[in-house]
Chain A
Amino acid sequence: MSSAIVILLTGVLVAVACALLGAFLILRRMAMMVDAISHAILPGLVAGYFLAQGPDLLAGFAGAVLAAVLTVSLVEALQNTGRVGGESAIGIVFPAMFALGTFVVSKYFANVHLDADAILYGNIEFAAFDLLYINGVSLGPQSLWMMSGLCLMNLLFVGLLYKELKLATFDPGLAAALGFSPALIHYALMTVVSITTVGAFTAVGAILVVALFVVPAATAYLLTDRLPVMILLAVALGALSAVCGYAVAIVLDASVAGSIASTTGVLFGLAFLFAPQHGLVARARRLQRQRLEFAVQTLLVHLLNHEQSAEQQAESAYSHLSGELRWHPPFARRVTDAAKRATLLQQHGDMLNLTEAGRAEAEAARATDLQR
């Protein structure tokens, strides 16, 4: 397998593994917790290294996962005192854990290959060269096996516990009352997140892992109102980011991990602006449309109020609108045009007359106004 394909596949698999859990993390407002976990694994890796007396994949892995779960428990314990609220508890625990890790590394393992750069930024570029050997037989790149395993684990986790995760996230009280312990589900999710983080960060680093967990799911949340769609979209966006990010990195000769993470951010920005329902542009448009609709109603009611009255001539003149209703002439034109297009009024020379439909609309609007 060519090195490029291995890197690309690794990226896609990592993205998919993380994005599978991302929706639940976003909905449980746990983005910061993922950040904490990703940093807190350093002392765990060190402990694993220490116990195994050298670099040992399994010991490092176990140590890191334990450290991550410990972080989650510490945060919970702090939060339960009621004195250190949500984010603050995380802010206290994870620098402490990371600091402990860096301290121990610098003090006792200064001459050892356990460098912080690799932990923060990973080295996906070398994914193709770390081969997995069993009994001396090469089975291909280690990272591919690892990431496929993570994907499978998370797929099974979400597939089997979808209903329980959804219930415990939406209504922990009911979950507990129905016998689905929210605490158990919380720790199960945190454990799976920890394993994924530890498995993924060797390839993509601690920072990109957080981006892959959080950003595609947050993007998906802007695009849909359905949880299953949100999960699928998050996965698709994660994979897309990996592919595009890799391509950009090749073209610009930049860091693959950084490029993938940036792509998730760009996609989020696009969704934030252009999402059909929740996007900034859509919302601005909706607001504008509502303003126009309201103005049309105001105009119709105004015309109705002065129908068959002595001052009708003056009040219903198009040229008087801006003065009467305090509208800028261009806005008055847009309102009148919109009303004409909806056949709510007709213009004869300078005179505006309600049509049948326009009169009905105005009467209805006036009735609801009176009710208020």
Chain B
Amino acid sequence: MSNVSIDHPVVIHDLTVAYRDKPVLWDIELSIPPGKLVAIIGPNGAGKSTLIKAVLGLVPTVAGTVSLFGGSYRERRQMIGYVPQRSSVDWDFPTHALDVVMMGTYGQLGWFKRPGKAQRELALRCLEQVGMADFANRQISQLSGGQQQRVFLARALAQDAQLYFMDEPFVGVDAVTERAIVNLLRDLRARGKTVVCVHHDLDSAPEYFDWLVLLNVRLIAAGPFETTFTSENLRKTYGGTMGAAIKHIEHFEEDRLAISVQADTKRPNGH
């Protein structure tokens, strides 16, 4: 396994995470190949955000190991970019878009060093890449939801990483911004980067991503969309552990039939 793990951006072994007594992630075994756009899909509360936070060392783990490019997160920090859920920060904070993007460069700067002209120019270029150059000096509370999401993406670009984790980058954005984000993801992939996104929309998932992780406390399935995005796997992901929500499951049943049909028709487009 160790030979594989060097060029595999993410190798997770036996990972278990619990906030209280009940594990929210249970015995996750997962290895993600390089250069892929990876979707993490699962119901609310499945532990998708927690998985990302555990990999980044933001929540303590009960058991298991995570290796990123064959090293610990600490050792590989410079190679990893993170886009948290947009709702996780206070958008009334007194600052402007460019300043938020510059925060992406702080990791490279380290403690005490102030960002300078180089960081400023890099941040401006990143804002340009997401089509937000005109908003550089805009107070962040005066940005729309989609614009805020773009600023977050620009900040991730400024981190100049090899591996990105993004928590629901498509939430609350319009079709234009969604397109822009997809293009950005493809651009990153073309440059050999790996991007792992939490994603909720089953319709668009096969088109946008080429690798799938199905999660519901346990790892249900992981692999290329062609072989993993099956109605059987989706049933296991959205059914099963949600014992109380039987009504929901019946609902999902119908949805899933529709989804699996779509999945079959979309398969030829997948990469």
B80: chain A residues at CB < 8 Å are 177
Contact among A169, A176, A226 for B58, CB-based, below 8 A: A176
Q: Quick one: given A163-B114, A177-B58, A179-B77, are A226 and B106 in contact (CB under 8 Å)?
A: no
Q: How far is the CB of A282 from chain B (nearest CB, A)?
A: 15
Contact of B111 with A180 in the complex, beta carbons under 8 Å: yes
Within 8 Å of chain B (Cβ to Cβ): is A363? no
Within 8 Å of chain A (Cβ to Cβ): is B45? no
Q: How far is the CB of B266 from chain A (nearest CB, A)?
A: 31
CA distance A160 to B89 in the complex (A): 24
Within 8 Å of chain B (Cβ to Cβ): is A369? no
A169: chain B residues at CB < 8 Å are 93
Within 8 Å of chain B (Cβ to Cβ): is A134? no
Within 8 Å of chain A (Cβ to Cβ): is B90? yes
Which residue of chain B is the closest to A173 with respect to CB atoms? B84
Contact of A171 with B114 in the complex, beta carbons under 8 Å: no
Contact of A170 with B84 in the complex, beta carbons under 8 Å: no
Contact among B94, B113, B155 for A226, CB-based, below 8 A: B94
Which residue of chain B is the closest to A182 with respect to CB atoms? B58
Q: Quick one: given A161-B112, A170-B93, A173-B82, are A178 and B106 in contact (CB under 8 Å)?
A: yes
Within 8 Å of chain A (Cβ to Cβ): is B172? no
CA distance A161 to B109 in the complex (A): 13
Q: How far is the CB of B169 from chain A (nearest CB, A)?
A: 14
Contact of B114 with A174 in the complex, beta carbons under 8 Å: no
Contact of A179 with B107 in the complex, beta carbons under 8 Å: yes
- Which residues 134-171 in B have Cβ within 8 Å of A in the complex? 139, 141, 155, 159
B180: chain A residues at CB < 8 Å are none
Contact of A27 with B106 in the complex, beta carbons under 8 Å: no
Contact of A177 with B94 in the complex, beta carbons under 8 Å: no
Residue from B106, B109, B155 having most chain A Cβ neighbours under 10 A:
B106
B96: chain A residues at CB < 8 Å are 225-226
Q: Quick one: given A160-B112, A173-B84, are A227 and B103 in contact (CB under 8 Å)?
A: no
A27: chain B residues at CB < 8 Å are 90, 93-94
A179: chain B residues at CB < 8 Å are 74, 77, 107, 110
Within 8 Å of chain B (Cβ to Cβ): is A164? yes
Which residue of chain A is the closest to B73 with respect to CB atoms? A177
Contact of B58 with A173 in the complex, beta carbons under 8 Å: yes
Which residue of chain B is the closest to A161 with respect to CB atoms? B112
Contact among A164, A173, A227 for B95, CB-based, below 8 A: A227
Within 8 Å of chain B (Cβ to Cβ): is A292? no
Within 8 Å of chain A (Cβ to Cβ): is B2? no
Residue from A163, A167, A224 having most chain B Cβ neighbours under 10 A:
A163
Contact of A171 with B94 in the complex, beta carbons under 8 Å: no
- Interface size, chain A (Cβ < 8 Å): 26
Within 8 Å of chain A (Cβ to Cβ): is B115? yes
Q: How far is the CB of B1 from chain A (nearest CB, A)?
A: 26
A170: chain B residues at CB < 8 Å are 89-90, 93, 95, 100, 103
Is the contact region of chain A dominated by helix, strand, or loop, or is it mixed? Answer: helix
Contact of A226 with B95 in the complex, beta carbons under 8 Å: yes
CA distance A255 to B20 in the complex (A): 52
Which residue of chain B is the closest to A229 with respect to CB atoms? B94
Q: How far is the CB of A211 from chain B (nearest CB, A)?
A: 21
Q: How far is the CB of B60 from chain A (nearest CB, A)?
A: 12
Contact among A174, A226, A229, A230 for B103, CB-based, below 8 A: A174
Contact of A180 with B106 in the complex, beta carbons under 8 Å: yes
Contact of B112 with A171 in the complex, beta carbons under 8 Å: no
CA distance A178 to B94 in the complex (A): 21
A177: chain B residues at CB < 8 Å are 56-58, 77, 80, 82, 107
- Which residues 59-109 in B have Cβ within 8 Å of A in the complex? 74, 77, 80, 82, 84, 88-90, 93-96, 100, 103, 106-107, 109
Which residue of chain B is the closest to A162 with respect to CB atoms? B114
- Which residues 156-199 in A have Cβ within 8 Å of B in the complex? 160-164, 166-167, 169-171, 173-174, 176-180
Q: How far is the CB of B106 from chain A (nearest CB, A)?
A: 6
Q: How far is the CB of B73 from chain A (nearest CB, A)?
A: 9
Contact of A225 with B82 in the complex, beta carbons under 8 Å: no
B159: chain A residues at CB < 8 Å are 178
Q: How far is the CB of A82 from chain B (nearest CB, A)?
A: 8
Known: A170-B103, A176-B58. 9 other contacts (CB 8 A): A27-B93, A163-B113, A166-B103, A169-B93, A171-B84, A177-B58, A177-B82, A179-B110, A225-B141
Which are the 8 A-B pairs with shortest beta-carbon distances?
A178-B107, A225-B139, A177-B82, A173-B84, A171-B89, A170-B93, A227-B94, A177-B56
Q: Can you list 27 A-B pairs with a CB-CB distance of less than 8 A? A: A27-B93, A27-B94, A160-B112, A163-B113, A164-B106, A164-B111, A164-B112, A166-B95, A170-B89, A170-B95, A170-B100, A171-B88, A173-B58, A173-B84, A174-B82, A174-B103, A176-B58, A177-B57, A177-B58, A177-B82, A178-B107, A179-B107, A179-B110, A180-B106, A225-B141, A226-B94, A230-B94
